[in-house]
């Protein structure tokens, strides 16, 4: 396996350009901040950007934990990549990653200055300092289950290889880590409950909600269980499916929480009185 390194100080735009550099070396595999990536898919790993402290983030990025190393080695053994690109903030860092993962020696090192202008590097540094946001070189949908409730923004980069060719769309995600100086935030279960009620008010087939149970302690997102009373005369299954779809979209839009599952049960029927007609 050929091992390439992509080196640059923190906040200079390495992750932003990782896929471009990987393509130039004809490799689909990238190791960035403790995640093993193939193309647009995360194969394994837990992002160092989820760490509670900067020290833990550094240790995780270096693959200092036994479980991390075993997981990545197992996947690499299964995938058998011909080459891989490793991102790091220094030559020493990428060397440590190589040693900890027991990979072959680095064949070539690419530096951020080789692929970015000083103006681009300065702009990347400014974005990091002002917004505290980091780039992860995979699409946002790949991160939802791992970064449920975090600030995620999709980012698409269009690149043309030449005249009369289709553009290459490179998808990335912006995230604010938990150890950012901007602080942390949490979303109360009551917020989810209010969204559940609000969306139900716009569904004419639902008379009222009887019970709402929010489970936000599950790994990777939130589970929601709802008992409803439906209006007499509605076709229940399509009505509840419509409610479920709208609810999932609204929770995603308002909270960035990953919805693992929504279960809705019709527990009764509301028969309108004559005075209601």
113/121 Cα distance (integer angstroms): 8
Q: Which three-class secondary structure state does DSSP give residue 108?
A: strand
Count of structural domains, the chain: 2
Model's pTM, two decimal places?
0.55
226 forms beta bridges with 212, 264
User: Above 70 in pLDDT, residue 181?
Assistant: no
Classify residue 180: in a domain, yes or no. no
When pLDDT is cut at 50, 70 and 90, the band that residue 260 belongs to is confident
Residue 57 exposed, middle or buried by CB count within 10 Å (0-12, 13-18, 19+): buried
Residues 235 and 98 in one domain: no
pLDDT, tens digit, 9 for 90 and up, residues 3-17: 999 999 887 888 778
DSSP class of residue 274 equals: G
Classify residue 90: in a domain, yes or no. yes
Classify residue 19: in a domain, yes or no. yes
Classify residue 106: in a domain, yes or no. yes
């Amino acid at each position: 396996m050929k091992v390439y390194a992509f080196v640059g100080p923190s906040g200079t735009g390495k992750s932003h350009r990782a896929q471009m550099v990987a393509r130039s070396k004809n490799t689909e595999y990238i190791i960035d901040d403790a995640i093993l990536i193939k193309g647009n898919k995360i194969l394994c790993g837990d992002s160092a950007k989820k760490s509670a402290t900067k020290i833990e983030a550094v240790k995780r990025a270096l693959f200092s934990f036994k479980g991390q190393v075993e997981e990545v080695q197992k996947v690499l053994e299964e995938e058998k990549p011909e080459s891989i690109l490793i991102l790091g903030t220094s030559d020493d860092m990428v060397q440590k990653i190589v040693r900890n993962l027991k990979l072959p020696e680095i064949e070539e090192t690419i530096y951020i200055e080789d692929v970015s202008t000083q103006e681009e590097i300065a702009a990347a540094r400014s974005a990091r300092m002002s917004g505290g946001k980091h780039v992860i070189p995979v699409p946002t949908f790949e991160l939802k289950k791992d970064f449920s409730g975090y600030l995620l923004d999709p980012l698409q980069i269009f690149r043309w290889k030449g005249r009369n060719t289709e553009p290459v769309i490179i998808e990335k995600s912006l995230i604010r880590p938990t150890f950012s100086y901007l602080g942390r935030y949490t979303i109360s279960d009551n917020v989810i409950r209010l969204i559940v009620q609000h969306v139900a008010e716009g569904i004419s087939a639902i008379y009222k909600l009887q019970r709402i149970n929010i489970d936000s302690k599950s790994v990777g997102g939130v589970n929601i269980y709802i008992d409803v009373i439906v209006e007499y005369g509605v076709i229940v299954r399509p009505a509840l499916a419509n409610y479920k779809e709208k609810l999932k979209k609204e929770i995603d839009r308002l909270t960035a929480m990953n919805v693992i599952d929504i279960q809705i049960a019709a527990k009764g029927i509301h028969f309108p009185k004559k005075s209601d007609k």
